Structure 1
Amino acid sequence: MSAPASSVHAPAPMEGGVRPWWQAAPFALVFLLFFVVPLVLIGMVSLWDFNEYELIPAISLRNYLAIFEGCSHLTDNGDLCVTLSTYLSTFKFCLLVWAITLLLGFAVAYFLAFHVRSPGMQTLLFVLCTVPFWTSNVIRMISWVPLLGRNGLVNQTLMGLGLVQEPVDWLLFSDFSVVLAFVHLYTMFMIVPIFNSMMRIDRSLLEAADDCGASGWQTLWNVIVPLSRTGILIGSIFVITIVMGDFVTIGVMGGQQIASVGKIIQVQTSYLQFPLAAANAVILLAVVLMIIWALTRVVDIRKEL
């Protein structure tokens, strides 16, 4: 005989919100061990002193002062100090790559979201966009060398068509090759979030804009772009943060001749100048966080998601 319904009691929830905290505890532990602790260690090491033989765990601002040494005035040649020149170079690549990946990513996402009607075809084309990610970044970068070199396919084609009389030198180991490699590697980080935002747009809004007599460009600018700004912001954060800290791409495609903040940190680490590299890493983190903060002031991502 079954017990009366009144005698059956559901298990009482744990008081004080313990259950949600226990659920979040594993993720919080991972976040603490692999994000917070390394950042604290980097900040701590950045304040240490060092010499040719050892690290000296003594609080000192020597590393930060060394990074900005001479930055209060121009050099004798009228140039900026090394740190500011390096950051300007990094910002230049960041801005160029962001603008190009945004245009390409938006165009590809727009095509997939609004011109490909079949979900199966959308999935197929989307998977094709991810094919380059099946190989290493280094392999994809190196693949440009035989194409862009002095005796590469591009130069041979240009000379064969009579467009140039001698090989073009700026195609490889230059700013152009660095930007090209960045765009090749990171455009997908812009396509995915923009595509996801576009797929969430209510198609009836586009029909309403068309009924009101809006042209295709007006619909694009006044309806699609504003409703895709969350994806644009997320993609921008991905691309900017990756490019700001990248040193492999600039080293390989720049022929080890182009400076960047990430490259300086990598060189300082290779020379065992860990406190100086840590100080540069802290400054770079602060700069990137300021950029992200400025982007989130334009679009409040918490309200959009």
Structure 2
Amino acid sequence: MQRFLKSPHVTGWLLASPVALVLAVFLILPMLMILVISFWTATEFSIVPAFSLENYEFLLGSPVTYRVFLNTFKYAVITWAVTLTLGFTIAYFLAFHVRSRTWQTVLFLLCTIPFLTSNIIRMISWIPFLGRNGIANSALMDWGLIDAPLEWLLFSDFAVILAFVHLYTLFMVVPIFNTMMRIDRSLLEAANDAGATGFQTLVNVIIPLTKPGIMIGTIFVVTLVMGDFITVRFMSGSQSANVGRLISNDISLLQYPSAAATAMVLLVTVLIVITALLRLVDIRKEL
């Protein structure tokens, strides 16, 4: 028995068993419960625990579902593009233009300061800034750039995406910065000695070596945006919707089976997106 327990294969399973148990209890089991409930039906006063495809038939047969999913993808793609641009630029500056490790640490911590407050507080703080009589409109009118307040600054897709970018840019900065700090500086010197311009070094050396960090940041941002609902609700003034809001509305109406079905469809969609992304880049190099 002692010889069996000392086997490397058995030792590995024993070491992994606590983590596996936690994942099974707090991740797999809840997901299985949501899956089971998604096949139940609900009436106005009760939930019927009987197998039925009614929720999925209604969900997949409604054109509203496809419009909401398309809107969700729109938010995810635009937010991803903006956060990638900002995140890569910030990470590049910190990694290659700030020489002192002390200043790198200080500037990086400055980027994390907004995370010391609640996401909701940071999101709501945009409302008085973007409002009809807010700071932005007042400043633009005082400068003579506009004659009337801009209505699209608040309670619009612009406001939703702005809030998403504010909330989730750091999730793009951190993995990209971490990957850039691992790049061997001798590779950059070799590219410079070979006569490569700064742009050529960026395109042919830095970006390829930063792909794992970009992919990790992409997964973070896309999954967070697709699952968010409170930002869309407040920043759009309830004039727009995403899948998260569908789930939230069903829960508020006590339609738990319908909410569970929508959640499972969203989960499958996100897993398909992540699987497609992981086929492009092997992020195990980063982990």
TM-score bracket relative to the smaller structure: over 0.9
Separation (CA, whole Å) in 2 of partners of 1:124 and 1:29: 39
Question: After the TM superposition, which residues 40-51 of structure 1 pair with which residues of structure 2 at under 5 Å, given as runs?
Answer: 40-51=32-43
Structure 1 equivalent of residue 228 of structure 2:
246
Post-superposition Cα deviations, 1:120-155, rounded to whole Å, max 9, x if no partner, equal 111101100000000001100111111100010110
Separation (CA, whole Å) in 1 of partners of 2:173 and 2:4: 43
Q: What's the offset of the Cα at 1:304?
A: 5.4
Structure 1 equivalent of residue 87 of structure 2:
105
Separation (CA, whole Å) in 1 of partners of 2:276 and 2:70: 18
Which structure dedicates a bigger proportion of its chain to helix? Answer: 2
Post-superposition Cα deviations, 1:170-226, rounded to whole Å, max 9, x if no partner, equal 000100000000000000000000001000000000000001111000000000000
Separation (CA, whole Å) in 2 of partners of 1:261 and 1:151: 31
Separation (CA, whole Å) in 2 of partners of 1:42 and 1:13: 39
Structure 2 equivalent of residue 148 of structure 1:
130
Q: What's the offset of the Cα at 1:23?
A: 2.2
Out of 158, 162, 172, the residue aligned to residue 190 of structure 1 is 172
Q: What's the offset of the Cα at 1:19?
A: 3.2
Structure 2 equivalent of residue 201 of structure 1:
183
Structure 2 equivalent of residue 75 of structure 1:
none
Secondary structure class of the residue paired with 1:130: helix
Out of 229, 237, 262, the residue aligned to residue 211 of structure 2 is 229
Secondary structure class of the residue paired with 2:52: coil
Out of 267, 282, 285, the residue aligned to residue 285 of structure 1 is 267
Cα RMSD, aligned residues only: 1.3
Separation (CA, whole Å) in 2 of partners of 1:211 and 1:12: 57
Alignment TM-score, normalising by the size of structure 1? 0.91
Unpaired stretches in structure 2, ≥5 consecutive residues: none
Question: After the TM superposition, which residues 88-127 of structure 1 pair with which residues of structure 2 at under 5 Å, given as runs?
Answer: 88-127=70-109
Between Structure 1 and Structure 2, how many residues are aligned? 285
Percent identity over the alignment is: 57
Q: What's the offset of the Cα at 1:303?
A: 4.8
Separation (CA, whole Å) in 1 of partners of 2:270 and 2:60: 18
Letter aligned with residue 292 of structure 1: I
Letter aligned with residue 281 of structure 1: A
Structure 2 equivalent of residue 136 of structure 1:
118
Structure with the greater alpha carbon radius of gyration: 1
Unpaired stretches in structure 1, ≥5 consecutive residues: 1-10, 71-80
Structure 2 equivalent of residue 267 of structure 1:
249
Q: What's the offset of the Cα at 1:12?
A: 6.3
Letter aligned with residue 5 of structure 2: M
Structure 1 equivalent of residue 65 of structure 2:
83
Structure 2 equivalent of residue 218 of structure 1:
200
Question: After the TM superposition, which residues 18-37 of structure 1 pair with which residues of structure 2 at under 5 Å, given as runs?
Answer: 18-37=10-29
